[in-house]
Structure 1
Amino acid sequence: MSSLTRTLPASWFCNPAMYQLERRAVFFKSWHFLGPVTRFQDRSSPVVYEIAQVILIVENLSEASEDINTDGIVVRSKDNSVSIRSHITPSGLVFATLSLDTPPFSEFFKGLEELTNKVDFTKLPHRRSISYEGRFNWKTMIDGFQECLHCQYTHPTFSKFYPPTFYSVQNHSNFSEHVVDPTKDSDGLFLYFYPICTLNVYGGGMSSFRSLPSTNPGVTRMEFDYYHSGTEEEFEEYFKFVRQVAMEDFELCEVAQANMERGIYGQGILNPEKERGVAFYQQQVRKAVRAQFEKEKALRLPEGLAKTKPLSHRCYKQPQLVA
Structure 2
Amino acid sequence: MESLTRTLPASWFCSPPLYQLERRAVFLKSWHLLGPVTRFQDRSKSLLYEIAQITLIVENNSPESAGIGIEGITVRAEDESVQIRTHFTPSGLLFATLSLDTPSFPDFFVGLENLTNTVDFTKLPHRRSISYEGRFNWKTMIDGFQECLHCQYTHPTFSKYYPPTFYSVSNHSNFSQHIADPSKPNDGLFLYFFPICTLNVYGGGMSSFRTLPSTNPGVSRMEFDYYHAGTEEEFEEYYKFVRQVALEDFELCEKAQENLERGVYGEGVLNPAKENGVAFYQQKVRKAVWEQHNKEKAAKLAEEQGNGKLEITVEGKSVTL
Shared topology, TM-score over 0.5? Answer: yes
Task: Report the equivalent of 2:80.
Answer: 80
Aligned runs of 1:154-233 on 2, under 5 Å? 154-233=154-233
Structure 2 residue 247 is the aligned partner of structure 1 residue 247: yes
Where does structure 1 differ by over 4 angstroms across 4 or more consecutive aligned residues? none
Matches of 1:72 and 1:181, distance apart in 2: 39
Greater CA drift, 83-92 or 62-71:
62-71
Encode CA deviations 1:94-148: one digit per residue, 9 max, x unaligned. Answer: 0000000000000000000111111101110000000000000000000000000
Match of 2:64 in 1: 64
Could you tell me which amino acid in structure 2 is paired with residue 206 of structure 1?
A: M
**Cα distance in 1, alignment partners of residues 90 and 188 from structure 2:** 20
- The amino acid that maps onto 1:41 is Q
Which AA in structure 1 matches 2:231? T
In 1, Cα distance between equivalents of 2:113 and 2:239: 27
Q: TM-score normalized by structure 1? A: 0.93
Root mean square deviation, CA, Å: 1.5
Match of 2:112 in 1: 112
Q: Give the match's secondary structure for 1:300.
A: helix
SS of 2:21's partner is helix
**Aligned equivalents of 2:150 and 2:199: distance in 1?**
19
- What is the distance in 2 between the residues matched to 1:65 and 1:226? 24
Q: Is the 8 A contact 1:54 1:98 kept in 2?
A: yes
**2:317 maps to what in 1?**
none
2:97 is aligned with 1:103:
no
Which structure would you say has the larger RCO, counting Cα contacts within 8 Å and 6 or more residues apart? 1
Residue of structure 1 in register with 2:293 after alignment: 293
> How much does 1:307 deviate?
8.8
| Structure 2 match to 1:311 | none
For 1:93 and 1:68, the matched residues in 2 are separated by 12
CA displacement 1:39-81 (0-9 Å, x = unmatched): 0011111111000000001111111137212111111100111
Paired letter, 1:175: F
Secondary structure, aligned partner of 2:71: coil
Map Cα deviations across residues 164-204 of structure 1 (whole Å, 9 max, x no partner): 12110000010000001112122111000000000000111
Separation of aligned partners in 1, 2:184 and 2:23 = 38
Query: How much identity, in percent, do the aligned residues show?
Result: 78
Deviates more, 1:279-288 or 1:292-301: 292-301
Q: Does 1:6 align with 2:27?
A: no
Gaps of 5+ in 1: 309-323
Please give the residue correspondences for 1:142-161 in structure 2 after superposition, counting only pairs within 5 Å. 142-161=142-161
Q: Given residue 181 of structure 1, which amino acid in structure 2 is its aligned partner? A: D
- 8 Å Cα contact 1:62/1:69 also seen in 2: no
Alpha-carbon deviations, 1:225-253, whole Å to 9, x = none? 00001111111111000000000000000
Partner SS, residue 250 of structure 2: helix
Equivalence for 1:24: 24
Give the secondary-structure state (helix, strand or coil) at the position aligned to 1:165: coil
User: Retained in 2: the 8 A contact 1:297–1:307?
Assistant: no
Give the Cα–Cα distance (whole angstroms) in 2 for the partners of residues 307 and 182 of structure 1: 56
Q: How many angstroms apart in 2 are the aligned matches of 1:236 and 1:65?
A: 29
CA distance in 1, matches of 2:268, 2:65: 53
Q: 2:308: which partner in 1? A: none
Cα deviation digits, residues 254-276 of structure 1 (max 9, x gap): 00000010000000100000000
1:105 partner amino acid: F
